[in-house]
Each structure stands twice: as C-alpha cells, then as structure tokens.
C-alpha cells in the first residue's frame, strides 16, 4: 500500500493541474469573446499600448492560433456573405412573375376548361420557351460575371506566434498584426503602429487620384474618414513605403463592409420595359374581357345560347393574346446582350438592355472612368520662358513633347532648358515604371514617363545618390544630393516640390544652360504662370538644381493631371446631341474637376458646378430642381452620390451611373442602370452594377444606348405586326359569327395563320439590325407605352385594309350555291399574302423599305420566303390539300392576290412618306421619331 502513495499523489497533481488548465482556458475564451472591433474614429485616437490592451494582443509576437480560432468563432471570416444566393429552381420560377406570362397561363387554363387542348398545349409550349430562354441568358451572364470576379484571392503578411506568415486575407481576425509593403492591397481595416514613407492610394474610396500620406501618430481629433492619417482601409493600395498595423475591422465590420451593407439595403428599381410590358399585359387583358363581353351581349340580343357565345368569346380572346410577344421580347433582348458581349459589355439582367434606350442622364465617376487614373505631365514652363505641351497618357512613354508655338518635337537636350527641367524631374525621383504601371508615387511616375518621351529615362544612371531629404507635408519639397559617376566634380542637389517652397531656396534661374541672378520680376512671372496652370486644374511642381540648398538654380514648372480616357470627349458629344446629359461626380477639387469637364466637353462647355457641402444644405424639393442644371459635383462622398441619383430620379430622369470604386457601389445599385468597370472596378462595384464594361471604355456606353433604343423599336414593330394580324383574323371570325355568315376560314387554316403570326416572320422582326440613326433619337419617356396613339392608328389602318381585302375576295369568290374549296383557298391565301406584305412594312415605323435596305435582315427574308413556299405547298401538295381543304389556283389568281395584298404595304409606305414631309417643317423638328 505504501508503494501506491506516490502514484496517488501524481494522479491528484495531474487532476488538479488539468482542472487549473481548463479554468485558465475558459478564462482565456471569455477574454477572447470580449474583444470587439474598433471603429476607425476611436482607433485613431488610441496610443499603441491602449490599442494592444483593447485588442488583447502582444504587438511584438502577434496573436496565438488559439486566440485566432476563438475570435473567428465570434467575428467570422474576413469576407462578405452575399445575400443567400437563390437556388436555381427559384430563379427559374421567378421568370413566371411577368404579367404577360401570367395572362398567357390564364388563357391556357381557360383553353383546358373549354376543352381546347391544342390551344392550351401551344400556349404552354410558348410560355416554356420564353421562360427557359430568359433564364438561360441571365444564368450565362451571371456565370460570365463570376469568371470576371475570379481574381487572385488577396493575400497578406501576418505576424502570429512570433512568426511572419503568408496568409489569405479571409483568415484575418481583429487584433492580427499585418505588415504592408509596396503593391499590397490592404487586407482589412488597420490602425498603423509603424510607418516608413507610407503612401496609400484610396481612390477606390474617396475618388482622389493622389495617394494619401500615412502616419503612426495619435490623432487628437477624428474628422471625416478621409482625414484619418493613421488608419488604412480594406481594399486600398500601398503605392510607396512600408508599414505595420493592427487589424481593427474585418469583413462586414470594415468601412468596405459598411458600403456593402448600404448597397444591399438599396432596392434595384423596375426597368421601363418591365413597366411597359406590365401596362401592355393590363391593356390586352381589358381588351380580351371587352371582346368576351361584346360577343356575349350580341349573342344574347340575337337570342343565342349564352354558354356557346361565352365559349366563342373566350377562344377569340385567347387568340387575341399575342403569345409570341414574350418570346420576341426575350429573343430580342438576348440578341442585344450577345451583340453587346461582342463589344465587350456584360449585361447581368435581360431588361436592362432596353432601359438604356430611356436613359437621359449619365452620372459618371471621374477617376478611373472618365479618366484613366494615370497621372500624366501635360505642360512645361521653363525658367527662361519656353512653353511646351506633352501628348500621350499613362506610364508607357508613348507621346511627344512639343515646343510652343512652333510644335517642334523635342528629344534629349535639343532644347537645353526643357532638357534640364526633365532631367531634374527624373533624378529627384523614387518611382519605377514596369510593364506600363508605376511602382511608387503616381506624380513621380508621371515625371519618369515624361523623361521616357524625351528619351532621357536613363539619365539618372549617370548620377550616384549620396543623400535624400524625403518629402513631408510640412516642408512640401523633396531633394536628393548626387554626384556624377567617375567624375571628381562637386556634388549637386536636385529639388522638386510646391513652387512657393522651392523658390525660397533659389537665388538663380536657368537661361539656356547659363545661371542668371533671380529678380523679383522673374519671381512674379513664375508665380503668375503657376497660378494659371493651377486654375486650369493642373497639379504644379517646381524643379531646381544647384551646389547647395540655399543657392539653387530655378529650372521651371511642370503641370500634371489625370487626363481623360481616349474616346471620352467624342462619346460625351454624341450623347449630348442625342439628348443624354452627362454629369461628373468626383471627390476632387473644383479646379481639377472643371478642367476635366471642359476637356471632355461636358454640357457643351456651359459648366455649372456644386460641392458636396452645398448639396447637404439643400432641401429635398430644392435639390431635385437644382441637380438637373448642374454638370459637375466635386468634393463628394458615397452618400452624396446616392443623394444626387435619388434627386434626379424624383425629377423624372432615368439615370445610369458609371463607376469603379467602393465609393460608387451604393449609387450603382440605386441607379436605373449601374455600370461598373471590368478591369479597374472593385469587386463590390461589379456586384452592385447591372452592366460591366470589360475594357473600361466609357465610349461603349454609347453602343449600349444605341442597342437599347433599337430593341424597343423592334418590339414595337413586332407588336404592330402581331396585333394588326390578330385583330384582322378576329374581326373576320367575329363578323361571320355575329352576321350568321358561313366561316371564311376553317380551323386548320386559322392554325396556319396563327403559326405565321407567332412564327418565323414575326420573330424575325425582333432581330432587325439597329438603325444607324437610332443613337440620334432622343431618349424615350418612361411613360411612353408600347401601344402609343400613332401605333394604335397604324395597327387599325393595316387591320382595316386586310379585313376589307379579304372580305372582298370572299364576296367575289362566293357562289350563290354556297362555299366551295376554291372560296376558302382564295380567301385563305389572300389573308396569308396580306400578312407577309404587312410584315414587310412593319420592319420600321419611320423609314421606307429602300432606306433600311431590302437585304439587311437576312433572317426576315428567309422566313418570309419559307412562309410563301409553305403557303404554295398547302395549295398545291395533295396530302396538304386534304388537311387544309384547299385546291389548285391559277397563275392569274396568284398575281391578282399578290397585287391586292400589296395594298397594305403601299398604303403604309405612303403614310411614312407623309409623316416624313410633315416632320421636315421647321416647327416640328422635335418629337418626330417613332
């Protein structure tokens, strides 16, 4: 027994130890649960020690894996959970919510009740085709968007358990220590605790092209998020320097997440086409009930059996509903989407294509959308008065430096003063250009690109850098001390910075390579030039060089701007001429915004600008009337963008919003059409948008608007053809029923007419190529119904001609002995020929057939030819003669019917000609489209 005691003691000790360990672990778990995310405005005021205490982290070793697991249980992964994605079957069923589809399903049900099973089956097939095509196209667009979003997953360098680890950004939790270096995307919201010359590009948040200087000091006052110099936000980009920070916010608790939540709270508005189709569905429902009511009333007055009259009325109403309309709308939209895909535009939802045709205001973000987000030198002024302009955009070295006014192209030191100025900009520089992108400050990248254009990019290699005085926001200049390689000359300083600071260090100025004494008159001249360049929106840098800092030689001024993208000016001009106003919304200062606005020809040069502060002071009603006349909004935040869009929508505008940053996401979602950039765009902006420009080319918006207008006109053409044909067929049957006449067409012949009415000739009207003049037409009003007054008149005009012609043939061929196969064959063929000529004139509402081109729509030609040959087969092929109860017709009969049926085409073309003449009168130039 004595020998057992030590074991008992050990067991007791282990038991006590494990109990204590469990208690410690529970205590740690409780502590970990207390760790919360820190809002940036609180974190910026914390000292490092307080920060470490609040987030329970050792700043030297980082978090333990145990802490990370516990925190992840509470805070989740560092990513955004998009609203629960709907299952595929639900997305499919959502397609049935269209009122026209519901109307068709109701008519199919009525057909089943009245035992018209063939009608029910054909309607059900039509509905299935429409729904499936629409579903497949939207699904394909979503998939292509997913492909676009399969970017490299963001990664980061994180300190955990004393080791620097390479992790995916989604694994981060609050309290993690992150190391940042040039080119890194910031993986979460961080409070900086160490920085070395850190510059962060926050343009995706603020719209400011210029990177922000970051510090690690404590802020006494927390202003707007753009002023928090010791905090960096998720999704921003490190342009220069390095830093170390503590994670204060992840996933939806980051600033990025705030925008994401605002975006998800926004409802996407209904498109004008959806509204038009809803209205058309209601109109056709009323029309159908009207027919049933009228026929029942007439039958009752004639003393006929009410139930049989109701059955006839219902079957006529079913026939009146154009089941081909949803198919044509869907096919037309799908073809529009496919044509736009070829032009590098991804459309996520079908009806959005057509909404573009109504768009009358485009609000565009400036940085990265209208401009390329690439700082570029555009003007030079040397100390001895030479002026030069610079062509080419971005960091590729393409472009030239032109001496003004002679436009002589300058290279190397062909002009000594310009050469010396460019040389200084290249030497006092830490940026590197690789593969057309800048590593370092964009303004320094612009100076290197300038040197590349002058063939002086390698000049910095002849110097050895001995010392650097870095740029700081207090001194507003940077200088380097260099010596020429392999030469025993004295050291030389190169300086760049704000003009008023650099000029203080200068006693001389350069004149053709010779240093002359700097006079007050010279200083006044430079000051005037600097002011003039600044007022035209340029960021002005002054450059100087010399043996010591107090005795520098002033070399000149360089003007830098983020210039407009190629093709933007032309696109804005075409949009302006077609009645679409373009408004620029930017976080930039007034001068820069106005300079870009004038450069791209906004509002034909008649610019009116408004700041974000002024927006905040206006009441809602006042805002709606004011924003219509403003073309530039500067110093704006995401909330301002949303305010502008809502105000424009209240004023009755259909608004498209283009943007690429996180700060654009909410506005993209709430606009009628949100347009994101495929390459420069952030994931959150692509998620919010309805449409993505794959190549970031603003001018493709113009093609999309053209497509949208063309699609609506094609739908109108189809509606005209279908309704004029169905009204004619209905009227023939109704008249014969009401007047107790023999039926001019039998059931199989009516079925054949229905096939033509809803089949290839009708469908091919939906694929009519977009008319070249479409873009010049003003945007259509949302209130415009598909069935406009002029369209209804044209429908009835065509229907009256078809009915009159067919009844004339029926009367002419009807012998006193009663109806013969020849009578029905002539009447039937006459109606089909009328149909085909009617389709020909319905190809355009405004243009004559020779203007749109006879062979432009190949599909239409093939389908009309097919229908014509089909009709001949029905007349001349014996088995079909039996089915359709027809007989052979002579050549003269066919010629007579062709001549008579062409009357519908001739009259319609004559009406178009008359309309054209009326529109040419000077007073009526407006509103003469479709």
Catalytic center residues: 365
Nearest to 585 by CA among 681, 658, 653: 658
Tell me the sheet residues that pair with 511.
514
Residues 245, 179: Cα–Cα separation, whole Å: 7
Classify strands 581-585 and 361-365 as parallel, antiparallel or unpaired.
parallel
Rounded Cα–Cα distance for residues 387 and 796 (Å): 70
| Angle between helical axes of 99-113 and 272-301 (0-180°, round to 10) | 30
Long-range contacts of 859-863 (CB under 8 A, 24+ apart): 859/760, 859/764, 859/767, 860/761, 860/764, 860/765, 860/767, 860/768, 862/760, 862/764, 863/759, 863/760, 863/761, 863/763, 863/764
Tell me 819's DSSP state.
-
- Tokens of residue 680, six digits: 């420069």
Contact 350, 271 (CB under 8 A): no
Query: Strand 477-484 and strand 492-497: pairing?
Result: antiparallel
Cα–Cα distance for residue pair 102/94, rounded to 1 Å: 12
* DSSP 8-state secondary structure symbol assigned to residue 368: I
694: which 2 tokens?
């794959």
- Measured CA to CA, the distance from residue 554 to residue 805 in angstroms comes to 91
Q: Work out the burial of residue 505: count CB atoms within 10 Å of its CB; fewer than 13 is exposed, 13-18 middle, 19 or more buried.
A: buried
- H or E stretch including 259? helix 255-265
- Cα–Cα nearest to 120, from 110, 129, 130: 110
Q: What token pair was written down for 607?
A: 């610019």
As a whole number of Å, the CA-based R_g of the chain is 37
Token pair of 801, please?
Answer: 């001609």
**Which residues partner with 155 through β-bridges?**
168
Mapped onto helix, strand or coil, the DSSP state of residue 539 is strand
All residues at 6 or more sequence positions from 734 whose CB lies less than 8 Å from its CB, including other chains? 291, 295, 316
- What per-residue string of b and e applies to 606-641 under the rule 16 or more CB within 10 Å gives b? eeeebbbeebeebeeeebbebbeebbbbbbbbbebb
What region does 480 belong to: left with phi over 0, alpha with psi -120 to 50, or beta? beta
Q: What HEC string does 66-95 produce?
A: HHHHHHHHHHCCCCCCCCCCCCHHHHHHHH
Contacts of 420 (CB under 8 A, 6+ apart): 382, 413, 510, 513, 545, 555
Q: Tokens 């279908």 map to which residue?
A: 722
d(CA 83, CA 663): 20
The C-alpha atoms of residue 844 and residue 33 are separated, in whole angstroms, by: 69
Kind and range of the H or E run holding 600: none
* The pair of three-digit structure tokens given for residue 110, joined into one six-digit string: 């009525």
Is residue 806 within 8 Å of 793, Cβ to Cβ? no
First and final CA of the chain: distance in angstroms? 109
> What gap in Å lies between CA 559 and CA 541, rounded to an integer?
7
Give, in order, the Cα–Cα distances in Å from 55 to each of 29, 73, 166, 183, 400. Answer: 14, 16, 22, 27, 54
Q: β-strands 609-611, 632-634: how paired? A: parallel
HSE-up of 405 (CA within 13 Å, CB side)?
0
Q: Residue 590: what are its φ and ψ, rounded to 5°? A: -60, -50
């Amino acid at each position: 027994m004595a020998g057992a005691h030590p074991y008992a003691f050990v067991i007791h000790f282990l038991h006590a130890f494990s109990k204590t360990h469990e208690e410690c672990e529970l205590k740690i778990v409780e502590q970990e649960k207390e760790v919360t995310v820190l809002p940036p405005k609180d974190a910026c005021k914390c000292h490092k020690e307080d920060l470490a205490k609040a987030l329970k982290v050792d700043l030297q070793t980082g978090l333990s894996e145990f802490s990370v697991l516990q925190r992840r249980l509470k805070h989740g992964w560092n990513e955004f959970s998009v609203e629960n994605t709907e299952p595929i079957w639900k997305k499919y069923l959502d397609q049935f919510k269209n009122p026209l589809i519901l109307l068709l399903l109701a008519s199919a049900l009525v057909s089943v009740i009245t035992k018209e099973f063939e009608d029910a089956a054909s309607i059900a097939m039509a509905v299935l085709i429409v729904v499936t095509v629409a579903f497949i196209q939207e699904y394909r667009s979503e998939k292509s968007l997913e492909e676009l979003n399969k970017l490299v997953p963001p990664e980061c360098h994180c300190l955990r358990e004393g080791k620097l680890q390479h992790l995916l950004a989604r694994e981060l939790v609050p309290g993690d220590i992150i190391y940042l270096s040039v080119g890194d995307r910031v993986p979460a919201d961080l409070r900086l605790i160490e920085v070395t010359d850190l510059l962060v590009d926050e343009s995706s948040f603020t719209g400011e092209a210029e990177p922000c200087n970051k510090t690690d000091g404590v802020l006494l006052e927390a202003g707007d998020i753009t002023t928090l110099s010791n905090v960096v936000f998720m999704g921003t980009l490190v342009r220069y320097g390095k830093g170390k920070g503590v994670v204060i916010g992840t996933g939806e608790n980051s600033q990025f997440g705030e925008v994401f939540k605002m975006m998800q709270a926004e409802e996407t508005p209904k498109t004008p086409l959806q509204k038009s189709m809803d209205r058309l569905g209601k109109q056709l429902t009323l029309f159908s009930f009207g027919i049933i009511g009228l026929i029942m009333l007439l039958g009752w007055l004639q003393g006929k059996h009410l139930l049989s009259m109701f059955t006839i009325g219902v079957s006529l109403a079913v026939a009146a509903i154009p089941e081909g309309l949803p198919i044509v709308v869907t096919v037309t939209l799908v073809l529009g989407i496919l044509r736009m895909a070829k032009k590098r535009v991804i459309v996520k939802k079908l009806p959005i294509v057509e909404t573009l045709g109504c768009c009358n205001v485009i609000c565009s973000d400036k940085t990265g959308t209208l401009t390329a987000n690439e700082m570029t030198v555009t003007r030079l002024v040397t100390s001895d008065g030479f002026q030069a302009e610079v062509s080419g955009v971005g960091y590729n070295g393409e472009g030239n430096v032109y001496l003004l006014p002679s436009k002589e192209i300058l290279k190397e030191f062909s002009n000594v003063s310009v050469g010396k100025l460019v040389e200084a900009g290249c030497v006092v520089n830490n940026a590197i250009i690789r593969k057309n992108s800048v590593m370092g400050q964009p303004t320094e990248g612009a100076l290197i690109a300038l040197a590349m254009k002058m063939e002086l990019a390698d000049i910095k290699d002849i110097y050895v850098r001995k010392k650097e005085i870095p740029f700081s926001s207090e001194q507003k200049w940077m200088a380097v001390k260099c010596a020429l390689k392999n030469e025993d000359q004295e050291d030389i300083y190169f300086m760049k910075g704000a003009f008023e600071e650099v000029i203080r260090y200068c006693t001389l100025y350069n004149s053709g390579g010779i240093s002359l004494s700097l006079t007050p008159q010279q200083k006044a001249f430079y000051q005037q030039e600097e002011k003039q360049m600044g007022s035209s929106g340029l960021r002005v840098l002054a450059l100087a060089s010399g043996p010591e800092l107090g005795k520098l030689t002033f070399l000149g001024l360089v003007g830098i701007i983020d210039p407009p993208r190629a093709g933007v000016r032309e696109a804005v001009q075409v949009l302006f001429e077609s009645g679409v106003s373009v408004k620029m919304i930017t976080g930039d200062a007034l001068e820069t915004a106005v300079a870009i606005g004038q450069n791209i020809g906004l509002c034909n040069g008649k610019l009116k600008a408004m700041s974000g502060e002024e927006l905040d002071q206006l009441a809602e009603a006042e805002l709606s009337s004011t924003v219509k006349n403003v073309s530039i909004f500067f110093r704006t935040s995401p909330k301002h963008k949303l305010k502008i869009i809502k105000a424009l929508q209240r004023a009755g505008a259909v608004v498209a919003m283009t943007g690429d940053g996180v700060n654009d996401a909410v506005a993209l979602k709430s606009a009628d059409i949100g347009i994101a950039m495929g390459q420069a765009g952030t994931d959150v902006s692509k998620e919010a948008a309805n449409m993505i420009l794959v190549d970031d080319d603003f001018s493709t918006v113009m093609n999309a608007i053209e497509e949208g207008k063309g699609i609506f006109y094609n739908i109108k053409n189809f509606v005209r053809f279908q309704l004029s044909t169905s009204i004619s067929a209905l009227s023939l049957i109704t008249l014969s029923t009401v007047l107790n006449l023999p039926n001019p067409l039998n059931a199989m012949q009516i079925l054949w007419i229905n096939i033509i009415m809803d089949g290839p000739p009708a469908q091919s009207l939906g694929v009519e190529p977009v008319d070249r003049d479409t873009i010049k037409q003003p945007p259509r009003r949302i209130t415009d119904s598909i069935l406009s007054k002029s369209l209804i008149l044209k429908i009835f005009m065509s229907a009256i001609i078809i009915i009159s012609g067919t009844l004339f043939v029926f009367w002419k061929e009807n012998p006193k002995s009663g109806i013969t196969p020849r009578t029905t064959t002539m009447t039937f063929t006459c109606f089909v020929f009328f149909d085909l000529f009617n389709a020909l004139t319905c190809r355009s509402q405004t243009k004559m057939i020779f203007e749109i081109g006879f062979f432009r729509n190949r599909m239409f030609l093939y389908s009309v030819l097919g229908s014509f040959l089909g009709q001949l087969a029905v007349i001349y092929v014996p088995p079909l003669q039996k089915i359709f109860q027809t007989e052979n017709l002579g050549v003269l009969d066919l010629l007579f019917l062709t001549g008579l049926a062409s009357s519908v085409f001739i009259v319609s073309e004559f009406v178009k000609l008359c309309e054209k003449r009326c529109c040419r009168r000077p007073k009526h130039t407006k509103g003469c489209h479709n």
